[in-house]
Copies of this chain bind each other. A is one copy, B any other.
Amino acid sequence: MILEEMYRAGTRTPNASQIQQITAHLSFYGKIEGKNVFYWFQNHKARDRQKLRRKIYKQLQQQQLFHHHQLNHHFLHSESTSAASPTLHQQLACYTNSTPAHININIPQAGVEEASSQLINYTWKIDQLQERLEMEKTMMRMYGRDNWMMMVDVGPPPSPYCSSSTGTTGRPLKTLELFPITATNLKEECTATSSKHLQNSNPTN
């Protein structure tokens, strides 16, 4: 109960001293070690995230079903969806504790709901025909990566299903850099062994 309470209060990945403290508190009730606390938080966070993933996945399925039947427009902008899951991104955000800055993305005022929905629609229209289990596993894997989660398009979606099979360049993709642009990065870029391959791929850096 105590750990649950702490988790609910926001503790996700306690550091050494925090773990020590928690362990000291809990040791009043019985033998316990720091690693137990550490594992507990690891597992709890992971399984909480897993639950959320499944939830999102189900939502996705629902939405895709909906879209499949009603190919209308602007469903994503309906207030119901936004209000129904307004904390989608916040729910995700709580899992990243003190992560590097490049993950703590503040999606501008465009709205996280649209972003998430779009993410879903863009990323996962691909396979909904696969077998359920395989699908779920794949989903898990893709969802698990917060990085991918955040590499989301921002901006008003012209249409949920962008059918432009041209693919590469058409979209206004406003996202954050995957790599922080730093001097080291530049240097590494230039000193890479196969840097010649990269010259035309990334001229900006």
Contact = CB atoms under 8 A, between A and B. Distances in A.
A35 B180 CA distance: 13
Interface in A98-155: 122-123, 138, 141-142, 146-153
State the number of copies, please.
2
Interface in A170-200: 171, 173, 175-179, 189, 192-194, 196-200
Contacts of A173: 20, 23-24, 27, 30-31
Task: Give the interface SS of chain A, mostly helix, strand, loop or mixed.
Answer: loop
Contacts of A19: 147-148, 151, 197-198, 201
Interface residues on A, range: 35 or more
Nearest to A34: B201
Nearest to A35: B148
Interface of A: 1, 13-16, 19-20, 23-25, 27-38, 122-123, 138, 141-142, 146-153, 157, 160-162, 167-169, 171, 173, 175-179, 189, 192-194, 196-202, 205
